[in-house]
């Protein structure tokens, strides 16, 4: 199993699309957006400095891309019949999904750490405990995205999975406040019910603020449960013996 996961990771990191969208893209955008505003200490009344806000925003974006992308690659494997090939090996199908989730999290962590490094370059300084608390909250917040990836990986075909995943994640990232803080108006009313919004809100923990609050945890739990139930359903349909 460890060997299997190791090669899953190896081939993910070799994949060009992963490098561009999950690692390169957020990093470049971070310097482009936060760089010119590095002296902004209260970005649009968010109470956070621009370098800190965008660090978490783009880390969340990269991590969403990485976690969703890992599951979404199931679509390509289904297209070439690789999942059927694996079903005639001793690998059980739960471990197959398990390996995808482990890969999702490892790649997400790499994406997050890269943005943290970029953040310190632009002057973000946090206490060790705050770094950890924020990271923990982000990792919990990625659960619905890992399930979303598995869901898309079973519903989309090999040629539609790219747009389906990229589009969904981009919209969720935008409405979640990845590109600018959303603090009022209609967008805010929508955003408060999205997992991506609360993912970005993890940034408040880093300056000693409270994390998600009851609403945040409820929204996260609801999305996680709903997407896990849906993902489990499509996955069971797919592996069912007919």
Partner 1 sequence: MLSVRSQRRHVQSGDASELGVELRSLDKSFRSTEGTIHAVRGIDVSIASGETVAVLGPNGAGKSTTIEMLLGLANPDAGTVSVFGLSAAAAVDAGIVGAMLQTGGLIHDLTVREVVTMVASLYPSPLTVDEALELAEIGDLAPQRTNRLSGGQTQRVRAAIALVGDPELLVLDEPTVGMDVEGRRAFWTTMRAFAARGKTIVFATHYLEEADLYADRAVLMARGRVVADGPTTEIRAMVGARTIRATLPGAELDKLRALAGVVGAERHGEAVILSCSDSDAAIRALVGAYPDARDIEITGAGLEQAFLALTGDDEQAPRGLEEAQAA
* Candidate list 41, 87, 215, 233; residue touching partner 1; CB under 8 A: 87
At its nearest, how many Å lie between partner 1 and the CB of residue 29?
25
Residue 237 found at the interface with partner 1 (CB under 8 A) = no
* Candidate list 19, 32, 36, 85; residue touching partner 1; CB under 8 A: 85
Residue 242 found at the interface with partner 1 (CB under 8 A) = yes
Residue 82 found at the interface with partner 1 (CB under 8 A) = yes
Residue 11 found at the interface with partner 1 (CB under 8 A) = yes
Binding mask 43-72 for partner 1 (x = CB under 8 A): ------------------------------
* Integer Cα distance of 37 and 54 in angstroms: 10
Q: Which is nearer to partner 1, 4 or 31 (by Cβ)?
A: 4
CB-neighbour burial class of residue 166 (10 A; exposed 0-12, middle 13-18, buried 19+): middle
The interface region with partner 1, picked from 5-13, 60-68, 145-153, 194-202 by CB under 8 A, is 5-13
What number of chain residues touch partner 1 (CB under 8 A)? Answer: 26
* Integer Cα distance of 153 and 71 in angstroms: 6
C-alpha atoms less than 13 angstroms from C-alpha of 54 in its C-beta half-sphere: 30
Residue 77 found at the interface with partner 1 (CB under 8 A) = yes
At its nearest, how many Å lie between partner 1 and the CB of residue 135?
28
Residue 90 found at the interface with partner 1 (CB under 8 A) = yes
Q: Which is nearer to partner 1, 91 or 139 (by Cβ)?
A: 91
The tokens 């070799």 sit on which residue? Answer: 14
* Integer Cα distance of 202 and 216 in angstroms: 10
* Integer Cα distance of 161 and 70 in angstroms: 11
Q: Which is nearer to partner 1, 33 or 66 (by Cβ)?
A: 66
* Residue 26 near residue 117 (C-beta atoms within 8 A): no
At its nearest, how many Å lie between partner 1 and the CB of residue 110?
16
Where do contacts with partner 1 occur on this chain (CB under 8 A)? 1-4, 7, 10-12, 14-15, 76-77, 80-82, 84-92, 241-242
């Amino acid at each position: 199993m460890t060997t299997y996961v190791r090669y899953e990771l190896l081939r993910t990191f070799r994949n060009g699309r992963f490098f561009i969208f999950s690692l390169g893209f957020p990093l470049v955008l971070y310097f482009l957006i936060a760089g010119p505003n590095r002296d902004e200490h209260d970005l649009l009344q968010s109470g956070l400095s621009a370098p800190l806000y965008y660090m978490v925003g783009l880390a969340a974006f990269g991590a969403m891309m990485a976690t969703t992308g890992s599951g979404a690659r199931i679509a390509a494997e289904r297209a070439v019949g690789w999942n059927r090939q694996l079903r005639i090996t001793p690998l059980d199908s739960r471990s197959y999904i398990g390996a995808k989730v482990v890969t999702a999290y490892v790649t997400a962590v790499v994406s997050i750490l890269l943005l943290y490094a970029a953040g310190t370059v632009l002057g973000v300084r946090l206490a060790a405990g705050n770094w950890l608390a924020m990271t923990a909250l982000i990792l919990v917040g990625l659960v619905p995205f890992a399930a979303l990836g598995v869901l898309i990986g079973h519903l989309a075909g090999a040629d539609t999975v790219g747009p389906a995943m990229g589009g969904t994640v981009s919209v969720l990232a935008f409405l979640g406040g990845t590109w600018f803080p959303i603090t009022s108006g209609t967008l805010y009313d929508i955003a408060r019910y999205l997992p991506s919004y609360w993912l970005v809100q993890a940034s408040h923990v880093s300056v000693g603020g409270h994390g998600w609050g009851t609403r945040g945890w409820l929204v996260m739990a609801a999305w996680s449960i709903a997407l896990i139930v849906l993902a489990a359903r499509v996955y069971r349909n797919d592996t069912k013996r007919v």
